[in-house]
Amino acid sequence: MNRLAGESSPYLRQHAENPVDWYPWGDEAFARARADGKPIILSVGYSSCHWCHVMAHESFEDASTAALMNDWFVNVKVDREERPDVDAVYMTVTQALTGQGGWPMTVFLTPDLKPFYAGTYFPAVDSHGRPAFTRLLRSIHEAWEADREKVVDSAEQITTQLREATRRVNGGSRAAIDAALPTRVVEALRNEFDEEWGGFGGAPKFPSPSNLEFLLAYHVSHPGDPLDPSALHLVTHTLRRMMDGGIYDHLGGGFHRYSVDARWLVPHFEKMLYDNAQLARLYLHAFQITGDPAFERVVRETLAYLEREMLDPAGGFYAAQDADTEGIEGKCFVWSPAQIDAVLGSEDGRLFRTVYGVTDAGNFEDPHHPEFGRQNVLHRPRAIEDCAGDLGLDVATLEARLPALRARLLAERETRVHPGLDDKVLASWNGLALAAFAECGRVLGDAHYVEVATRTATFLRREMWDAGLLHTWKDGEAKVDGLLEDYAYVGLGLLELFKATGDIAHLRWAERLLDDALDRFHDEASGGFFESPLDGEELILRQKPFFDAATPSGNGAMAQLAIWLARYTGNEEWETIGGEVLALVAGQLQRAVTGFGSTLLALDLIAAPPREIAIVGAPEWRAPFEREVARRFLPATVIVPSASGGPLPVLVGRDVAPDDAAAYVCEAMVCGLPARTPEMLREQLDAARL
């Protein structure tokens, strides 16, 4: 066992039995490097990363490789999910030095943490233009011993250049955002759109929920959009292709990380909390706009998956499920025709195989384990009408038979060895899950989802709050000071929970989180927010996250939170702060219009005239009014349910009798007559084009 045995991170503990003398990120490792005059190997990954497992097996479990690492280097292992700030800094380094990034990330540092060489996965033998890891170790050791001063000078130059580039991004000049920018972004996304399979670009293909959410907001804020195909089509075509593809788990619900091809067919099989929380809301919003029941089904199946497999009894959601099972990628999720027939019988098996594209030839093979053979990732490659015709059934009969068949196969799958579970709880990703369950509960009228969201909020306050948010929790212990994304995502989740319950305590905690974020992360001189606390650990770069990755950027999400809370409370200073973020990003938006979906959502909100819907009355009297509002996708409208008039501006003077309810629709600070019935409310919303 090495030092990682005492860590709480499942990813770090996966490496506790390596012969490598690993250190966790921290002063002990850095002091050792300085004392011994050795460079540092920084290895960054995460528990559900397939190629991280490959490199671990090939190199870190190999005694001869470990001996070189231990003799020549101080070896530091980082879980990127536990320390996203460290990951972000050295990913910037890796991308600057190599032109690409990814995990596992491998960076060589001087003892004072300055980088001089970087890469991602290195194989055990020279392969595909990548040097063998042991050859790389020897080369770097020889350079360090023969000309250390030159290596240190190189690290100094790299760090200086990166600091200057970071300074320019952090303190970029503020600019007004052109009103035509959203349309240019839609045009840019249209140019990248895959007309056949949906999504953007080619393989590998990622869901990109922030961009898709922006397109839905654009559809609402630009009625009669003349662009062809429309913003709405870009989203709905993508969502339908995804839910028919292998990226979607047709038995257990939920989405895998991404597709290795352009067709959404073969995924990388890890399942992430952040993907599924964001995609549940995205499909919910598409359902609100289109009324397509297939979108609602995906929402419910995805939330069922999260609750069944990712929810800790204490109330928080786990981070991820692994791509591999028993060392084989996707083993738990794939099927042969014989396996399906053994569970369903020949008749039902033929029906299921016809619908879900299961063939003797298969569509997937783990290249590292060809002995496992070709298997089938379940997907729906053909229209249900064509399948019904081949089977001699009508469509309704075929659709009615499928749920029971899926349930039987899921029950069989549950007997298999499951993928590894990363059971740490991250505040940021739980904020995304909180928002998903709260909003889905409100929109679908499902009180159970709201109960799950309430339990998650209670968990976060009880277990991950100590005069400030903490980033990660496992086995009853929370640690690592909260980062910008923790405050932003949890704050936005609490807003959704307030809209679902009317409990103003959730709104007040969101306000507290924004106030704390201003103290901890806000750059008062230049605007915007740093990723890590101003008084936190000093890394070689202090960055402001503006670009969306798999999750919304910290600044985009915080701008949304500030503008929303300004609209709810009347605190205009918060709207100004949100606007400063947009002005700071304006220059970047002119140069690269995609990748800023979360910021564009904040722009859509701040550009919209203030709109509020207040629904006042006891919960049982409010319910019919709330259902009328919930039918509509309103991405820039303040929604305030309340038992009585009260502390928020839109509620002043809005008291009703105990056995009554009323709704108020307001725009640009002007409110219409109170709607005393759901029908009156519907007429007012229609008239306001909401």
What digits encode the pLDDT tens for the residues 551-579?
Answer: 999 999 999 999 999 999 999 999 999 99
Planar angle of CA 665, 670, 673, nearest 5 degrees:
50
Residues of the chain with pLDDT under 70: 173
Amino acid at 214: F
The pLDDT, as a whole number, for residue 370 is 84
Which one is the CATH code of 3-170: 3.40.30.10, 3.80.30.20, 3.20.10.10, 3.40.50.2300? 3.40.30.10
The span from the CA of 120 to the CA of 51, in Å, is 9
What digits encode the pLDDT tens for the residues 105-159?
Answer: 999 999 999 999 999 999 999 988 899 999 999 999 999 999 999 999 999 999 9
CATH 1.50.10.10-classified regions of the chain: 181-326+422-607
Q: Taking the CA atoms of the chain, what radius of gyration do you get in angstroms?
A: 26
The pLDDT, as a whole number, for residue 107 is 99
**Torsion angle defined by CA atoms of residues 255, 627, 556 and 523, in that order, rounded to the nearest 10 degrees:** -130
The span from the CA of 658 to the CA of 126, in Å, is 76
Tell me the three-class secondary structure of 66-120, residue by residue: HHHHHHHCEEEEEECCCCHHHHHHHHHHHHHHHCCCCCCEEEEECCCCCEEEEEC
Placement of tokens 């909100």 in the chain: 605
Q: Could you give the C-alpha distances from 187 to 15, 209, 227, 277, 594, in angstroms and in order?
A: 46, 17, 8, 27, 10
The span from the CA of 632 to the CA of 628, in Å, is 8
Identify the burial level of 558 via C-beta atoms within 10 angstroms of its C-beta, where 0-12 means exposed, 13-18 middle and 19 or more buried: buried
Q: How far is CA 560 from the centre of its chain?
A: 16
CB 556 within 8 A of CB 548: yes
The pLDDT, as a whole number, for residue 367 is 81
Both structure tokens of 540? 């070689």
Which one is the CATH code of 181-326+422-607: 1.10.2020.10, 1.50.10.10, 1.20.1260.10, 1.20.1740.10? 1.50.10.10
> 3-class SS at 331?
coil
The pLDDT, as a whole number, for residue 128 is 82
What digits encode the pLDDT tens for the residues 372-384?
Answer: 889 999 999 999 9
The pLDDT, as a whole number, for residue 363 is 95
CATH 3.40.30.10-classified regions of the chain: 3-170
CB 546 within 8 A of CB 531: no
The span from the CA of 631 to the CA of 614, in Å, is 16
The pLDDT, as a whole number, for residue 587 is 78
CATH classification code of 611-687: 3.40.30
Residues 6+ apart with CB under 8 A from 505: none
The span from the CA of 676 to the CA of 659, in Å, is 12
